[in-house]
Amino acid sequence: MPILDFFWAMLMFFLFFAWIWVLITVFIDIFRSHDLNGWEKALWVVFVLVLPLLGVLVYLIARGGKMQERQVKDAANQQAAWSNAVQDAAGSADTSADQLTQLAKLHDSGALTDDEYAAQKAKVLNA
């Protein structure tokens, strides 16, 4: 039966690391929570350290929804920061094209004369 012992050991090994991952995730969430004051954070940490299984389960039941909301908000903030960084990196080409498009719309609507349009277009293309 050594093969069953091996599978049992692998299962316990996996569950141990899954438990460590959940514990670390809970601690990270406790310290990232802006809606908890220092004393509340300290009480949650003591509760999770003294009674780990019960503490983590109670934390996930009591604050799991807020935990998920914070993770979604953080992901949205990271996506926005990434989009801004990409836009800034590629900004010069897009800016010229956007300016030319706006100039063409203004010219077509009659807000710019042919001479003004030509002068502004040359200015954008030379920049």
Q: What is the DSSP string of 17-53?
A: HHHHHHHHHHHHHHHH-SSS-HHHHHHHHHHHHHSHH
Question: What does the buried/exposed string (b/e) look like for 80-90 if buried means 16 or more CB atoms within 10 Å of the residue's CB?
Answer: eeeeeeeeeee
Both tokens assigned to 122: 């040359």
Q: What pLDDT is attached to residue 9?
A: 94
Torsion of CA 40, 41, 42, 47, to 10 degrees: 90
* CA separation for the pair 97, 91 (Å, rounded): 10
Average pLDDT of the segment spanning 60-74: 90
pLDDT tens digits, one per residue of 11-50: 999 999 999 999 999 999 999 998 899 999 999 999 999 9
pLDDT tens digits, one per residue of 75-102: 999 999 998 888 777 665 557 778 888 8
In the chain, domain spans: 1-64
Q: What pLDDT is attached to residue 96?
A: 78
Residues in the chain: 127
